[in-house]
Amino acid sequence: VTYRGEETDWNYRWYKNSQLVIPFNTKPEYRISPVYISSSGSYTCEGVKGNKISNTSDAVQLTLSDQPQPVLSISPQWLNPGDSVTLSSEVDKTSTGWRFSWYRTVLYRAGLPSLSDKSYSLQPLSDNGTTEVSYTLIPAGPTPTGRYVCRAGRGDPVYYTLYSEPQFLWSGDLQPSVSLRISPNTSQHRHQSLSH
């Protein structure tokens, strides 16, 4: 917003949907940070200098869409020991500039961020977000069976998406196989085992 004349003598009032939100501001700008869905609306301003009040500015409409939610896919979802797995994330295809973070859910631990389901915390798979839309998990030990989520963010300050819906990763080495042996192997023992 710029007023002609001695700008340093003007103060500014800001309105949202005709309701006063900033009654006094010495700077000819109004910064909304961070931006939320509730920030949507019609904004106007006016200058005040002593007893003089300027005309109200033209309205500027701020429209925010609902917070996006990425879609996480895991390939393959069933692993054999030693296999690697690729986690891929997709946000609204019409938007760009996202950085992705990847997490494995664990039973709640203090100090870790949590999902809306407070019984689960999020264990980051990497330290920082990445512009890559996929992340390759190469297990160093037994395959980490469990559920995984991702989230994306962009801008400064960062605007985050919702967390993705959890996707499960299953492992072929989840449990050793179990077998039953009856000794001595007589028909009487077999009959008793089946009757119980």
Indicate the pTM of the whole model. Answer: 0.55
Tens of pLDDT, residues 76-134: 888 777 788 899 999 987 778 899 999 998 888 777 877 766 678 888 988 778 899 99
Range(s) within the chain of domains with CATH label 2.60.40.10: 7-62, 71-171
Fold (CATH) for 7-62: Immunoglobulin-like (2.60.40)
Mean pLDDT of 18-45: 84
Fold (CATH) for 71-171: Immunoglobulin-like (2.60.40)
Mark 108-130 as b/e (b = at least 16 C-beta within 10 Å): eeeeeeebeeeebbbbeeeeebe
